[in-house]
Amino acid sequence: MSITKTVDGRTGFVTLDNPPVNAIGQPMRQALLDAVTWAEQQDLDRVIVTGAGRAFAAGADAREFDGDPLEPHLPDVLDRIEKSFVPWIAAINGVALGGGAEIALACRMRIASPKAQIGLPEVTLGVVPGAGGTQRAMRLTGLETALEMVALGKPLRADEALKAGLIHAIEDDPVGAADMVNTEELSCVVPTWELPAPEHDEGAFAAIRETLAKRSPGQVAPLRAVDAVEKGLSLPFDEAMRLERATFLELKQGDQARALRHMFFAERAAKAPDDLPPAPTLTEVAVVGGGTMGAGIAYACLSARLAVTLLETDEDGVARAQANVGKLIDAGVSRGRLTEEAAQALRDRLTCTTDYSSAANAPLAIEAAFEDMAVKKEIFAKLDAALSPGAILATNTSYLDVDEIAASTKDPSRVLGLHFFAPAHIMRLLEIVKGAKTSPEALATGYALGKLLRKVPVLAGVCDGFIGNRIYSRYREAADTVFMDGSTPWEIDEAMEAFGYAMGPYEVADLSGLDIGYAARRRQDATRDPNRRYIPIADRMVELGKLGKKVGAGWYRYPGGGGKVEDPIVADLALEEAHFAGIERTEYSEDEIVERLVLAMINEAADVLAEGIAQSAADIDLVTVFGYGFPRWRGGLMHYADTLGVAHVVERITALQSEDPVAWKLSPVLANCAERNVTLADWTPA
Ligand code: T1G
Ligand 1 pocket check for 122: Cβ under 6 Å: yes
pLDDT exceeds 80 at position 560: no
Residue 274 counted as domain residue: no
pLDDT in tens, 626-683: 999 999 999 999 999 999 999 999 999 999 999 999 999 999 999 999 999 999 999 9
pLDDT in tens, 515-540: 988 988 898 899 899 999 999 999 99
For the CA of 121, the closest atom of ligand 1 is 24
What is the 3-class SS of 541-555, one letter each residue? HHHCCCCEHHHCECC
Which residues are marked as active site?
A: 102, 122
For the CA of 120, the closest atom of ligand 1 is 36
Residue 180 phi, psi (nearest 5): -95, -10
Show the CA angle centred on residue 634, arms to residues 95 and 208, nearest 5°: 60
CA 521 to ligand 1 centroid distance, Å: 43
The protein residue whose alpha carbon is closest to atom 54 in ligand 1 is 268
Dist. CA 498–CA 581, nearest whole Å: 31
Dist. CA 454–CA 1, nearest whole Å: 29
What sections of 189-291 are H helices per DSSP? 202-215, 221-232, 237-252, 255-269
Residues 52 and 169 in one domain: yes
The protein residue whose alpha carbon is closest to atom 34 in ligand 1 is 268
Q: What is the pLDDT of residue 279?
A: 82
CA 523 to ligand 1 centroid distance, Å: 44
Residue 423 preceded by cis peptide, ω within 30: yes
Residues 440 and 503 in one domain: no
Ligand 1 pocket check for 268: Cβ under 6 Å: yes
Q: Report the CATH number at residue 149.
A: 3.90.226.10
Ligand 1 pocket check for 63: Cβ under 6 Å: yes
Give the mean pLDDT of 148-175.
97
For the CA of 125, the closest atom of ligand 1 is 24
Residue 594: pLDDT band by 50, 70, 90 thresholds?
very high
- Contact (CB, 8 A) for 11 and 176: no
Ligand 1 pocket check for 121: Cβ under 6 Å: yes
Residue 269 counted as domain residue: no
C-alpha separations of 546 from 542, 556, 619 in Å: 5, 9, 35
Residue 277: pLDDT band by 50, 70, 90 thresholds?
very high
CA 60 to ligand 1 centroid distance, Å: 8
Q: What is the DSSP letter of 60?
A: B
Residue 492: pLDDT band by 50, 70, 90 thresholds?
very high
Domain finish residue from 440, 460, 480: 460
Ligand 1 pocket check for 102: Cβ under 6 Å: yes
Residue 278 counted as domain residue: no
- Contact (CB, 8 A) for 679 and 673: yes
Domain span at residue 378 reads 284-460
Residue 419 counted as domain residue: yes
Residues 503 and 453 in one domain: no
Residue 337 counted as domain residue: yes
- Contact (CB, 8 A) for 466 and 520: no
Q: What is the DSSP letter of 614?
A: B
Residues 152 and 78 in one domain: yes
CA 627 to ligand 1 centroid distance, Å: 23
Per-residue exposure over 67-94, b if at least 16 CB sit within 10 Å of its own CB, e if not: eebeeebbbebbbbbbebebbbbbbbbb
Residues 301 and 430 in one domain: yes
The protein residue whose alpha carbon is closest to atom 22 in ligand 1 is 58
Ligand 1 pocket check for 454: Cβ under 6 Å: no
Strand runs (DSSP E) across 363-475, as ranges?
A: 364-367, 392-395, 415-420, 429-433, 456-460
Q: Report the CATH number at residue 552.
A: 1.10.1040.50
Supply the mean pLDDT for the chain.
95
Residues 66 and 88 in one domain: yes
- Contact (CB, 8 A) for 81 and 168: no
Q: What is the pLDDT of residue 138?
A: 98
Ligand 1 pocket check for 97: Cβ under 6 Å: yes
pLDDT in tens, 215-250: 999 999 999 999 999 999 999 999 999 999 999 999
Nearby residues of 107 by Cβ (< 8 Å), 6 or more positions away: 49, 81, 82, 87, 88, 89, 90
Domain finish residue from 442, 460, 478: 460
Find, among 35, 40, 32, the residue nearest to 10 by Cα. 40
Q: What is the pLDDT of residue 618?
A: 97
Residue type, 276: L
Q: What is the pLDDT of residue 280?
A: 85
Q: Report the CATH number at residue 380.
A: 3.40.50.720
For the CA of 269, the closest atom of ligand 1 is 27
C-alpha separations of 84 from 87, 184, 354, 663 in Å: 6, 16, 71, 67
Residue 563: pLDDT band by 50, 70, 90 thresholds?
confident
Q: What is the DSSP letter of 115?
A: T
> In 3-state terms, what secondary structure has residue 627?
helix
The protein residue whose alpha carbon is closest to atom 55 in ligand 1 is 21
For the CA of 265, the closest atom of ligand 1 is 13
The protein residue whose alpha carbon is closest to atom 25 in ligand 1 is 58
The span from the first CA to the last CA of the chain, in angstroms, equals: 40
Residue 275 counted as domain residue: no
CA 266 to ligand 1 centroid distance, Å: 12
- Contact (CB, 8 A) for 312 and 318: yes
Residue 279 counted as domain residue: no
pLDDT exceeds 80 at position 497: yes
Dist. CA 581–CA 334, nearest whole Å: 53
Q: What is the pLDDT of residue 583?
A: 85
Ligand 1 pocket check: which of 2, 17, 18, 21 to mutate, most ligand atoms within 8 Å of Cβ? 21
Ligand 1 pocket check for 127: Cβ under 6 Å: yes
The kind and range of the H/E element at 145 are helix 143-152
For the CA of 65, the closest atom of ligand 1 is 21
Per-residue exposure over 201-223, b if at least 16 CB sit within 10 Å of its own CB, e if not: eeebbeebbebbeeebeebbbbb
Ligand 1 pocket check for 131: Cβ under 6 Å: yes
Helices 590-610 and 617-628 sit at what angle, rounded to 10 degrees? 130
For the CA of 61, the closest atom of ligand 1 is 1
Ligand 1 pocket check for 508: Cβ under 6 Å: no
Per-residue exposure over 156-172, b if at least 16 CB sit within 10 Å of its own CB, e if not: bbbebbbebebbbebbe
Residues 476 and 546 in one domain: yes
CA 304 to ligand 1 centroid distance, Å: 23
Nearby residues of 53 by Cβ (< 8 Å), 6 or more positions away: 17, 19, 20, 21, 22, 94
Dist. CA 559–CA 233, nearest whole Å: 48
Dist. CA 170–CA 161, nearest whole Å: 9
Find, among 308, 258, 314, the residue nearest to 282 by Cα. 308
CA 264 to ligand 1 centroid distance, Å: 8
The protein residue whose alpha carbon is closest to atom 8 in ligand 1 is 58
C-alpha separations of 516 from 401, 422, 469, 559 in Å: 17, 13, 11, 23
> In 3-state terms, what secondary structure has residue 133?
helix
Residues 455 and 472 in one domain: no
Residues 610 and 480 in one domain: yes
For the CA of 124, the closest atom of ligand 1 is 24
- Contact (CB, 8 A) for 670 and 603: yes
Q: What is the pLDDT of residue 260?
A: 98
Give the mean pLDDT of 400-408.
96
Give the number of domains in the chain: 3
> In 3-state terms, what secondary structure has residue 400?
coil
Q: How many C-alpha atoms does 636 have within 13 Å on its Cβ side? A: 27
Residue 593 phi, psi (nearest 5): -65, -50
CA 636 to ligand 1 centroid distance, Å: 20
Domain finish residue from 431, 460, 489: 460
pLDDT exceeds 90 at position 685: no
Dist. CA 442–CA 165, nearest whole Å: 51
The protein residue whose alpha carbon is closest to atom 38 in ligand 1 is 59
Residues 420 and 474 in one domain: no
CA 58 to ligand 1 centroid distance, Å: 5
CA 22 to ligand 1 centroid distance, Å: 9
Residue 1: pLDDT band by 50, 70, 90 thresholds?
low
Ligand 1 pocket check for 60: Cβ under 6 Å: yes
Residues 445 and 473 in one domain: no
Ligand 1 pocket check for 58: Cβ under 6 Å: yes
Ligand 1 pocket check for 129: Cβ under 6 Å: yes
Give the mean pLDDT of 403-409.
97
Percent helix, strand, coil in the chain, to 5, is 50, 15, 35
> In 3-state terms, what secondary structure has residue 456?
strand
pLDDT exceeds 90 at position 200: yes
Residues 212 and 315 in one domain: no
